[in-house]
Amino acid sequence: MYSIEFDTDIIKGVELIDINLLNPHEKIIKKKKTKLTKFIKSFDEYYIISSILCCHKTHVIIDGHHRYFALKELGFKNVPVTKVDYSSNLISTGGNGNDIPKDQIIKMGISNDLFEPKSTQHSIYCSRSKSWHPIILLSSMFKIDTKN
All structural domains of the chain with their residue ranges: 8-145
What was the pLDDT predicted at 41? Answer: 87
Residue 5 is among the residues annotated as catalytic for this protein: no
What was the pLDDT predicted at 52? Answer: 98
Q: Which stretches of the chain are assigned E, i.e. beta strand?
A: 11-18, 46-50, 52-55, 61-63, 78-84, 91-92, 123-126, 131-134, 141-145
Q: What is the pLDDT along the chain (148 residues), one digit of tens a residue?
A: 568 889 899 999 999 999 999 999 999 999 999 999 999 888 888 899 999 999 999 999 999 999 999 999 999 999 999 999 999 999 999 765 568 899 999 999 999 789 999 889 999 999 999 999 999 999 999 999 887 5
Q: What is the CATH number of domain 8-145?
A: 3.90.1530.10
- Active-site residue, selected from the candidate residues 26, 45, 73, 116: 26
Looking from the CA of 146 toward its CB, the CA atoms found within 13 Å total 15
Handedness of CA 96, 100, 102, 104 (dihedral sign): negative
Residue pair 135/124 in contact by the 8 Å Cβ criterion: yes
- The pTM of the full predicted model, rounded to 2 decimals, is 0.92
What was the pLDDT predicted at 95? Answer: 60
